[in-house]
Structure 1
Amino acid sequence: MSSTPSDAAPKTSSFDEDLFLKGLEQRKATLGAAYVENNLAAADEFTRPFQEAMTAWCWGFGWGDDTIDAKTRSMMNLAMIGALGKMHEWELHCRGALNNGVSREEIRAIIHAIAIYCGVPQGLECFRAAKAVLDQHEQG
């Protein structure tokens, strides 16, 4: 027996507004409201579904799990994103880590671990990015 469109299950939206709103709150708390609002405002028909899904899934589901506090999660993210070498995201999450209470000394220790496990060149990249973020943060 073959399946026809008429007996196929109806397509449902995977958008979860409650999870999105929870994620939006956490995303703004970590990255700053202006940054998040600018990203969402810049989203178009092509990128909006990803922005919504990422906000709900990463920030609502992932960051919304209180088992790991925001500071620890930020520290984990710096290590993982640094390991991946995604420096634009690393800078963004470095700013967010400062917002979540990660100290300059903790950022340095995270970069040391990145250099040990991912190589000195990647550690140097993280130090370059961190220096720019920390200088900007200290200037206000």
Structure 2
Amino acid sequence: MSGHLSVDEETLSRRAQAREAVLGPSSFTVSPSVLSQPLLEWSESAVWDVWSHPDLSINHRCLVTITILAIQGRMEQLELHVRGAFNNGWSSEQLAQWVNHLAVYGGVAAAAAALGVVQKISGEGKG
């Protein structure tokens, strides 16, 4: 990453472990371009530094993330993170309770859309 401070191996390892825990071992990669490179560099550090911080567990961060994504209507990202929830041991029953809770505090429309995502992922054998 040209023009940036170098990052130590421990930080890189912590980020990689968090990414794999959230997205699974076959997490997606994006081919950088002139347009995407700055965003990729920023997100690689900012996102995975947040996810790997030890003061909040991956499962707690997952709960926060899927709730925010559902309320924002970001279904493509929600799908990615619901897969991550299943990868981290969440059950279909836990996600069903999350959808119910989401309906109360985030709205029925957000919960209904999120339920569709959960059912799709669950149908793929992840739940």
TM-score, normalised to structure 1, is 0.76
Moved over 3 A (4+): 12-16, 18-21
Q: State the distance in 1 between where 2:33 and 2:125 align.
A: 31
Pairing of 1:1-140 with structure 2 (within 5 A)? 13-18=3-8, 19-36=11-28, 39-40=29-30, 42-59=31-48, 61-138=49-126
Higher relative CO (CA 8 A, sep ≥ 6), structure 1 or 2? 2
> How many pairs does the alignment contain?
124
- Could you tell me which runs of 5 or more consecutive residues in structure 2 were left unpaired when the two chains were aligned: none
Q: Percent identity?
A: 22
Give the CA RMSD over aligned residues: 2.2
TM-score, normalised to structure 2, is 0.83
Retained in 2: the 8 A contact 1:20–1:55?
Answer: no
Q: Which amino acid aligns with 2:24?
A: G
When residues 28 and 124 of structure 1 are mapped into structure 2, their CA distance, relative to the original with a 3 A threshold, is: same
When residues 23 and 120 of structure 1 are mapped into structure 2, their CA distance, relative to the original with a 3 A threshold, is: same
Deviation at 1:29, TM superposition (A): 2.5
